[in-house]
Every structure is written in C-alpha cells, then in structure tokens.
Amino acid sequence: MKRLFPILLPCLLALLVSLPARALVPEPPDLNVNSFVLFDFQSGQVIAEKNAHERVEPASITKIMTAFVAFDELQQGHVTMDDDVLISEKAWRTPGSRTFVEVGKKVGFRDLLHGSITQSGNDATVAIAEHIAGDESVFAQLMNQHAQQIGMKDTHFVNATGLPDPEHYTTAYDIALLARALIQTYPERYKIFSEREFTFGHRGEITQRNRNLLLQMDSTADGIKTGHTESAGYCLAGSAIRDGRRLISVVMGAGGPRQRAQDSKTLLDYGFRFFENVALFGAEKPVSQIQVWQGAVSEVAVGVPAPIVLTVPRGEADKLTVTPHIEGRAIAPLAAGQQVGTVTLSINDQTLRTLPLQTLQPVGEGSLLRRLIDAARLWLEG
C-alpha cells in the first residue's frame, strides 16, 4: 500500500480539483428586532424574513402610503405641485416630528411633500391629507383602498402620519409590497426619498436632515423611510441598487436609529452577496412542445409568454428544475395564450413558483381527414 500511495495521491488530487465547487449560502442574519423582511424588487420573492406577516405598528413608515396617495392624485391631475395649501389648526397642532408650518399660512404642496418625506413632518403630512381629501379620516379611506389594490392583506390605516392607534397596523411584508409598488409606479417621484436634507421656508430658515442613516452608511441606498414611536420602536424601510438589481429591506422594532440602519444594511449585504436573479421563459423560449389533435400542425410550443425573474441562492441556478403539467389534450383550434396546464419551478425540491402554461402560437383546425382520424384515435383511447 505504501508503494501505491505516491501513485494514487496525484490521481486523488486531480479528482478533487475536477469536482465542481459547491455554492456556500449561509443562513440569514439573526436580527434583534420584532420583524423584518428582505425582498427582491424584480422577482417579488422574499429572500429572508422574521415574523414578516406579524402585525406591528408602522409609525412614520405610514408616510410611504401617504406619498403613494399623493403621487396618485398628482398623476390624475387632482392636485399639482404648485398648489398653495392653507394650514389648518389641526395640522399645526399635530404632535410629533414637524416641518414647522404655521397655522393660517399657505404652503406649497411641493414643500409639504418634501417636509413629509424628508423631515417626516406630521404637520406637513396632515396638511397634505386635508388638501387632497378635506379630512384626514377620509384620506385614510383612500390609503386603505390603495392598500387593497396593492395586495396589503394585513394592513389598516386610520391616519396619514403613523401616530399610534389600536386600529393602525401593518406587517413588514406589506410594507415591502407598498415600497415595491411605489417605486414601480412612480420611479421619478420616488427620488424624493433619497434626499439627505430639506430646507423649509422662503428664506431658508429651517433645515432638517433625513433621519434615514442608511443613506449615509450605504452609497447604493436610495431610500426609503424611517419610523419611530415608543410603542413601535425604531423602524426602517430601506432600498438599494447594486449592479442594476434592487433589494428592499424592512426592519420593524429595532432598538435605536443606528441599529435599524445597520440591520437594514446587513440584510441588503446578505441578499446581494448570496442571491442572484435568473431570467426565464418568454415568447422565444418555450418550455416544451405538446401534441395537438385535429389541428393544422401536430405540435405546438407551450410556455410562459412574458419573461419572468426568479431569485435563487448564489451558484444554484443550474439546479433549477422546470416541470410542466399538461391538463387534458390540446384539441384544435387553439388560440395563442390559451392555458393548457401549469409549469412548476423548483430548486432543491422547494417550489419557488407555479405559473400558467400557455400556447405560444395559434393552431387552426386541420383538414377533414385529419380531424376524422384524430377523432377516431381519441375515441379509441377513451
């Protein structure tokens, strides 16, 4: 055996070198917060989470929805950035963080938006709500209607600011959905969320810095919004883009302003480092060919017409399995986009997504002889 060892050793080393390196993906970070979620913007997949669907107080993260409603009203032309808004006593007296608007004065809608988003001013936020809906409680109804359309199933708003109320709640996951919808729908207006400071007043009297320390910690971050009350703790919805890929992090109930920012950065670093996106399908990339009965052609390509993106652990894209399930027989005529089954995407026996499987081209009826032959074969096969 000792004589053989010098001969076998080079062979064993060569074998080890030739083996493919296994991708190493650690478990998500264990953060000392009430809940969190790390969300891929493009695929819509959750990369990591803790109590992501547990109800929590949103505090001033609420103002993301306030901005969403305001952006929608701007897009519809119901309000404009140049509107002058009369500040009510209620807005002026609203407790908490402030833009320092004055009762009875008129303030531009543009300034109010910046005051609400950058300074997290509750007074400016209430003024926005009153200008759009006449009353903050009516504005909250708009917020809830938008939440339903976005798919926020565990959220209910009663005010525009996020001040505590037993009936004012959300989840980390719902906030991620809201953040994604905001960026997708209003990409240009979303840029306000990246501003580091805002000066209010015609003569530049009051300058306040953005409370989002993530913008200082991470040069790739471009938002989104902080929140804090005694009962909610310190919260932060963050987002960053690296190499063209965007991730969204939501941290609820951290112990302090720096912790919420550091935890958000930790989540973002984890997602960018250990996960990647894979583009699949599209009209030019069929899943398979299936048999067509009584048609002008004997086969048709089936797949998913629009390309989709999946988020997978780093280095495991080659382990992705695509499993089509055909329902019944495809009998002509067939329209393009007609569902003929489903396709399941999984990795390491974990199902990532199940999608409708559709015909990618139309198929007309075959000749009379073809239809008769296939009808007979279908009858014989039961």
Residues noted as catalytic = 60, 63, 120
Spell out the alpha helix ranges (H) of the chain: 5-18, 63-76, 89-93, 109-117, 122-133, 136-150, 172-185, 214-217, 257-274, 368-380
Of 211, 207, 314, which is closest to residue 258 (Cα–Cα)?
A: 211
Residue 204 backbone class (left: φ over 0; alpha: ψ -120 to 50; beta: rest): left
Taking CA atoms, 241 is separated from 65, 103, 244, 257, 311, in Å, by 22, 40, 6, 22, 15
CB-CB neighbours of 142 under 10 Å:
21
Of 277, 48, 44, which is closest to residue 179 (Cα–Cα)?
A: 44
Q: How far apart are CA 105 and CA 119, in angstroms?
A: 19
Specify the residue for token string 């971050």: 221
Q: At what angle do helices 109-117 and 122-133 cross, to 10 degrees?
A: 130
> Is there a contact between 347 and 319 (Cβ–Cβ < 8 Å)?
yes
Q: How far apart are CA 224 and CA 228, in angstroms?
A: 14
Q: How far apart are CA 354 and CA 324, in angstroms?
A: 10
> Is there a contact between 354 and 366 (Cβ–Cβ < 8 Å)?
no
CB-CB neighbours of 63 under 10 Å:
27
Please report which helix (H) or strand (E) contains residue 222, including its range: strand 221-229
Q: How far apart are CA 213 and CA 271, in angstroms?
A: 19
369: exposed, middle or buried (Cβ count in 10 Å: 0-12, 13-18, 19+):
exposed
- Residues ≥6 apart with Cβ < 8 Å to 198: 114, 115, 118, 119, 207, 208, 210
